[in-house]
Amino acid sequence: MANFDLVILGGGSGGYACALRAAQLGLNVVLIEKDKLGGTCLHRGCIPTKALLHAGEIADNARHAGEFGVKAEFQSMDMVAVNAYKDGVISKLHKGLQGLVKSRNITYVEGSGKLVSRDTVEVNGQRYTGKNVVLATGSYAKTLPGLDVDGKTIVTSDHAMHMTSVPKSVIVLGGGVIGCEFASVWKSFGAEVTIIEALPHLVALEDESSSKQLERAFRKRGINFELGTKFKSAAKNAKGVTVTLEDGKTFDAEIFLVAVGRGPVSNGLGYEEQGIKMDRGYILVDEKCRTNIPGIWAVGDLIPTLQLAHVGFGEGILVAEEIAGLNPRPINYDGVPRVTYSEPEVASVGLTTAAAKAQGFEVVELNYDLAGNGKAQILKTAGSIKLVSQKNGPVLGIHMVGSRVGELLAEAQLIFNWQAEASDVAPLIHAHPTLSEAMGEAHLALAGKPLHAHG
Ligand SMILES: Cc1cc2nc3c(=O)[nH]c(=O)nc-3n(C[C@H](O)[C@H](O)[C@H](O)COP(=O)(O)OP(=O)(O)OC[C@H]3O[C@@H](n4cnc5c(N)ncnc54)[C@H](O)[C@@H]3O)c2cc1C
């Protein structure tokens, strides 16, 4: 039996970040992973989807090159080459991460682990005991009862990552982040796309104004969507699949992507047997990611916080620092930046108008249209930056739509997390011509001194 300061189960964003930080702080760490170091984000999530989206952006650039005076034409997607590009990015990052783990002297164990007592994980018959155990087994793509996910006609995001050809048509079930990103990719690649979403809006967790702008932009791109109607059934046939909604409408497509959310990987791993408090498979933790069992911690998609890689990183670091006695500040989840990397992008930090009002704030709003921004005109993108602010107080939320607006979150999150008021941001000079100028202009306008803003 081997003894450690930390036994970490799961080598995804949450687990490996915890391992790296703990080792940096001088702790003796074992990291256990049954598949590939880097987890969902690196191999089946953030990185591959963003590579596909970038390939899609280049395809769209080729289609629209003439609008910029460039003679080029879009011929077709070469999916073998697209996958080689995407896999090349993953492989480089994977090697880098393996090198990092090695260089920090972390004991890396390959195999499927199970919590067999309150301080011990068993892998391949070998037991690893720690003063602390960090559970970071992540999440899986959920489906619906009765759906025969075969990886060919009916697929989840795991399969959609490896398509060897562009389907003629796709139905995407779920208009959340993952559904909208794949809809965007496939439309750029040349497929007919229809999204089916039971809620009244796409990216429904975002401010309603952002959802509406994304819907407008998708409509303009020819991405179809059905909102507010529930899915009923999907029947495979020789040409693909026929999807029926509860209101009786039917849709046909070659491929049906099920993107209805992700569930925690916790079944059969010994968590309940050890008395860990759980809710629908998620492990419940306090603000320092401690479970109800002393010495057992949980991070990442396994706990009911935002399912984002950078949240996993943050929680992993928080746990390592808490164990090392640094007493880190708990995470303010409202201050975590969120991006849907579709074309156009949707990015936000802080509270939506509805949430701010529900929390009792007297709210003022400011909408800055990107039509007034030089760089947005150069890029030919449409969208806006919306500020939600407390009356005579700090900015409570920033909500953006447009190409590349995800990059503006670096500033937006400082504004929110440092509780800046519009009058604090207004004097900051933003480089011209950049999209970030729109951030400056929005705060100038909210501070009562608009420059390039009408009305
Ligand atoms: C299509 C898609 C796109 C995404 N895009 C983004 C994005 O752009 N930005 C973003 O921030 N987030 C994105 N995410 C979410 C992000 O990938 C997750 O939030 C993140 O990976 C969660 O990290 P984690 O460590 O909790 O879990 P995971 O990354 O799932 O890692 C858990 C690890 O535990 C291992 N494991 C499980 N059980 C065992 C066991 N019994 N023994 C040993 N090992 C085990 C698994 O093999 C896995 O490697 C995306 C997700 C998907 C699916």
Q: Are 399 and 388 in contact (CB under 8 A)?
A: yes
Per residue in 177-223, pLDDT (tens digit) is 999 999 999 999 999 999 999 999 999 999 999 999 999 999 999 99
Domain co-membership, 325 together with 426: no
Q: Are 285 and 291 in contact (CB under 8 A)?
A: yes
Q: Which of 283, 308, 333 is the last residue of a domain?
A: 333
| Radius of gyration in angstroms for the set of CA atoms belonging to the chain, rounded to a whole number | 23
Quickly state the pLDDT bin for 386 (edges 50, 70, 90): very high
Q: Are 123 and 113 in contact (CB under 8 A)?
A: yes
- The conformation of residue 452, written as its DSSP 8-state character, comes to S
Q: Are 5 and 130 in contact (CB under 8 A)?
A: yes
Tokens of 116: 């067999």
Tokens of 258: 């099920």
pLDDT for 1: 60
315 to each of 14, 15, 79, 81, 414, how far by Cα in Å? 7, 9, 36, 36, 19
Per residue in 125-140, pLDDT (tens digit) is 999 999 999 999 999 9
- Residue 432 annotated to the active site: yes
pTM of the model: 0.97
Question: Nearest CA to 322 among 100, 94, 98, 132?
Answer: 132
pLDDT for 452: 82
Domain co-membership, 437 together with 356: yes
Alpha carbons within 13 angstroms on the beta-carbon side of residue 345 total 21
Domain co-membership, 85 together with 59: yes
Q: What is the CATH number of the domain that holds 92?
A: 3.50.50.60
pLDDT for 453: 75
Domain co-membership, 89 together with 109: yes
User: In this structure, how many other beta carbons lie within 10 angstroms of the beta carbon of residue 117?
Assistant: 13
Over 90: is that where the pLDDT of 172 sits?
yes
Q: Which of 207, 229, 260 is the last residue of a domain?
A: 260
Nearest-CA residue for ligand 1 atom 38 is 137
Q: Which domain holds residue 442?
A: 344-446
Strand positions, DSSP E, 292-343: 296-298, 338-340
Domain co-membership, 8 together with 135: yes
User: In this structure, how many other beta carbons lie within 10 angstroms of the beta carbon of residue 224?
Assistant: 16
Per residue in 291-312, pLDDT (tens digit) is 999 999 999 999 999 999 999 9
- Selected catalytic residue, list 430, 432, 443, 454: 432
- For 270, the 3-state DSSP assignment is coil
Per residue in 51-95, pLDDT (tens digit) is 999 999 999 999 999 999 999 999 999 999 999 999 999 999 999
Tokens of 30: 């074992």
CA 156 to ligand 1 centroid distance, Å: 15
Domain co-membership, 111 together with 220: no
Domain co-membership, 100 together with 210: no
Domain co-membership, 164 together with 293: no
Q: Is 112 in the pocket of ligand 1 (CB under 6 A)?
A: yes
Terminal CA-to-CA distance of the chain, rounded, Å? Answer: 71
Domain co-membership, 197 together with 254: yes
Q: Is 49 in the pocket of ligand 1 (CB under 6 A)?
A: yes
Tokens of 91: 């492989």
CA 419 to ligand 1 centroid distance, Å: 31
Q: Is 33 in the pocket of ligand 1 (CB under 6 A)?
A: yes
Nearest-CA residue for ligand 1 atom 20 is 309
Domain tally, the chain: 3
pLDDT for 454: 67
Nearest-CA residue for ligand 1 atom 19 is 308
Per residue in 370-384, pLDDT (tens digit) is 999 999 999 999 999
CA 12 to ligand 1 centroid distance, Å: 5
Segment 326-352 mean pLDDT: 98
